Structure 1
Amino acid sequence: MGSIKKLNFEVCGKVQGVFFRKHTKKTCDKHGVAGWVLNTKGGTVQGFLEGSQQSVSKVKNWLKSVGSPKSRIDKCTFYNECTVDTKSLTQFSIITEKTEVERRTFKT
């Protein structure tokens, strides 16, 4: 069984225009979690997390219940969760273009 947790997420609510992506990156960097985050055209924030099970769990809790200071989290969904033996990413990035997402999309 792998020791690295990977997953995708989507956060709904007041999550755009409130520095949600910036604070997500700060939280992930603090906990040593790699991945990416982006704003969607539908007004949500989507992303990918990869790191130790304990660190990813801390970021998941932050995404579900804390967020950025001016955000309001109505719903947070996690999907494609799995564990693997090695990380595929080394840092956390804020993505601004769709083409970049397509290159980094995690698939099980």
Structure 2
Amino acid sequence: MSNTKILFGNPLEFKMGTDSEQIHHNSTVSVDFEVFGTVQGVYFTKYCRERANLLGLGGWVKNSKKGTILGKMQGEKEKVEEMIAWLSKEGSPGCVIERCDLNNFEYMARQEFKGFTIRF
């Protein structure tokens, strides 16, 4: 059983915001995420930012008031898939990931964010 609420097969099932012919030529995607478990107090946001920047993703991450990690990421579909796997299974040292929920999938013409930041 996977730690992700929504499983990604081939191809990713993102909501289509434009006609499907254009979608097939566009590999830039956006997704919101929320990670549950023991994910605060273990530098999860720091490691998340480092991994996302290494993958060339744009977006942000932050600690929520309810003890989860919230974020948004944008980038090449394959890189977003890699990041989803990291968020769902690996995370920072010392964390215990229960699950990673994914929402608001969409294809984009281009990334809105330059770089990946930690929000407070």
Separation in 2, partners of 1:41, 1:25: 19
Give the alignment's TM-score, normalised by structure 1. 0.87
Separation in 1, partners of 2:52, 2:92: 13
Q: Does 1:93 align with 2:117?
A: yes
Bigger mean CA deviation after superposition, 62-71 or 82-91: 82-91
Identity %: 33
In structure 2, the residue matched to 1:31 is 55
Give 5+ residue unaligned stretches, structure 2.
1-22
In structure 2, the residue matched to 1:10 is 34
Separation in 1, partners of 2:78, 2:41: 29
Aligned-pair CA distance for 1:87? 1.0
Q: Does 1:82 align with 2:106?
A: yes
Separation in 2, partners of 1:87, 1:9: 17
Separation in 2, partners of 1:86, 1:76: 25
Give the alignment's TM-score, normalised by structure 2. 0.78
Residue type at the aligned position of 2:66: G
In structure 2, the residue matched to 1:65 is 89
In structure 2, the residue matched to 1:42 is 66
RMSD: 0.6
